[in-house]
Amino acid sequence: MVPSTRSTLRRNIASLASMWREIQGSNDWYGLVEPLNPLLREEIIRYVELVDACYKAFDLDSSSKRFLNCKHGKASMFREVGMASSGYEITKYIYAAPGISMPAQQDDAGQSRWIGYVAVSADDETKRIGRRDILVSFRGTVTSTEWLANLMSSLTPARFDPTNQQPEVKVESGFLSLYTSNDSTCRFGQGSCREQLLKEVTRLINQYKGEELSVTLAGHSMGSSLAILFGYDLTELGLNRVHPSCEIPVTVYSFGGPRVGNSRFKQRCDDLGLKVLRVVNTCDFITKLPGMIMNDGMRVIGGRYELPWSDSCYTHVGVELSLDFFKLENPRCVHNLETYLGLLKCCSMAESVKKNEEPGFIQKAKEMVARNYEAVHVMPWQDAARQVGDLVQSLGF
């Protein structure tokens, strides 16, 4: 594994408290993405590690009493995955149900499963980063029913606001199913993923009302889609506007995320002030899908004339940060979160190379990411389920 960057973070981002709003996208990351601002890079790395904790803590042993749940309790989870100094305290675990039926022999058929957690920055971390940060972290696709749910590659109205349902705002039906479906038999979490999130984040906003607050949603692959859906939902309902003169910024850090909705969905997210930073490896085809054909490029002609089928086109939301420092020789790696972490950590090495022309940088970077990937220690079938699931989802069957 690449060594923890926690000590580096504490040294390098002492000025975060003075410019956290810009880092969270208040100006759409203008001037911070190209070239990648070192302060922003370290914040992105921090959130990658907080998402990676979900993978490390997820229990996929079907013989375990915590199967499809987190292996550890809320108070000990960060410590157990090697992140005792994360600076956050977990307040709630979040569960999601695919909302589809599966053959009975499937170990995870019909069950809710742990999808991530809600956490809040502790006092010391709050002082360091300049505000009280409410964090929601989502893992990506792992189990068979999750990727089968993702096969439902069709656009459907979101209709989150009961007073203004906006049927033209459409999102991918598989992601919507994971977000809104409820498994009444779940012994760990009650209510849909959506209901759990809205209740807990609203509670925390009210608890820390009067403090400087931010809401940060971070996820990988399928998890980034859930993060964007929740960010849209939260802002559409106005739950981040606790006072007319005090709007809590809501930011999504998306890692290897697919498209989530149509152009109307993108426009609505922009209108609501939802900030999304999409971190993508240009070799990762998942970030280009669903919508291999019906996508952003099919909406208009000559940049001016919107075509009649534009509402059926998938469109990315937010600002893209592209990572492409070398071509990976192992195609299994391109979508893995550990690869994203390795690429981000290579950024500082790349800057050093530009200045000093250090020989052998490319080879060193390849070796680092290769070591990073091999250290994931996932079982072959688990890795295959994740990769095949994302592949089939992305083909839009």
State the pairing for strand pair 275-281/250-255.
Answer: parallel
Amino acid, single-letter form, for residue 301:
I
Residue 331 DSSP symbol: G
Residue appearing with tokens 């697919």: 258
**pTM of the predicted structure, to 2 decimals:** 0.83
Which pairs with CB-CB distance under 8 Å and at least 24 residues apart come from 20-23?
20/129, 20/130, 20/131, 20/214, 21/249
Identify the pLDDT of residue 252. 98
Other C-beta atoms within 10 Å of 71: how many?
Answer: 17
Please report how the helices 193-207 and 173-180 are oriented relative to each other, as an axis angle in degrees rounded to 10.
Answer: 60
Copy the structure tokens of residue 59: 């229990």
Residue 12: is it exposed, middle or buried by C-beta count within 10 angstroms (0-12/13-18/19+)? middle
Is 64 in the active site?
Answer: no
Q: Evaluate if residue 254 carries a pLDDT over 60.
A: yes
Q: Do 254 and 277 meet the contact criterion of CB atoms below 8 Å apart? A: yes
Choosing from 173, 221, 254, 263, which is the catalytic residue? 221
Rounded distance between C-alpha atoms, residue 164 and residue 159, angstroms = 8
Q: Evaluate if residue 281 carries a pLDDT over 70.
A: yes
Copy the structure tokens of residue 217: 């949603």
Residue 248 DSSP symbol: P
Identify the pLDDT of residue 342. 84
Q: Evaluate if residue 230 carries a pLDDT over 80.
A: yes
Q: Do 257 and 228 meet the contact criterion of CB atoms below 8 Å apart? A: yes
Is 220 in the active site?
Answer: no
Is 284 in the active site?
Answer: yes
Residue appearing with tokens 């998306």: 254
Torsion of CA 224, 230, 233, 235, to 10 degrees: -90
State the pairing for strand pair 213-220/250-255.
Answer: parallel
- Does domain 6-395 fall under CATH 3.40.50.1820? My reply is yes
Residue 196: C-alpha distances to residues 82, 180, 190, 358 (Å): 27, 10, 7, 50
Choosing from 108, 183, 233, 284, which is the catalytic residue? 284
Choosing from 86, 335, 390, 394, which is the catalytic residue? 335
Rounded distance between C-alpha atoms, residue 256 and residue 264, angstroms = 22
Identify the pLDDT of residue 246. 83
What is the residue extent of each domain of the chain? 6-395
pLDDT in tens, 322-331: 987 555 556 6
Confidence of residue 146 (pLDDT cuts 50, 70, 90): low
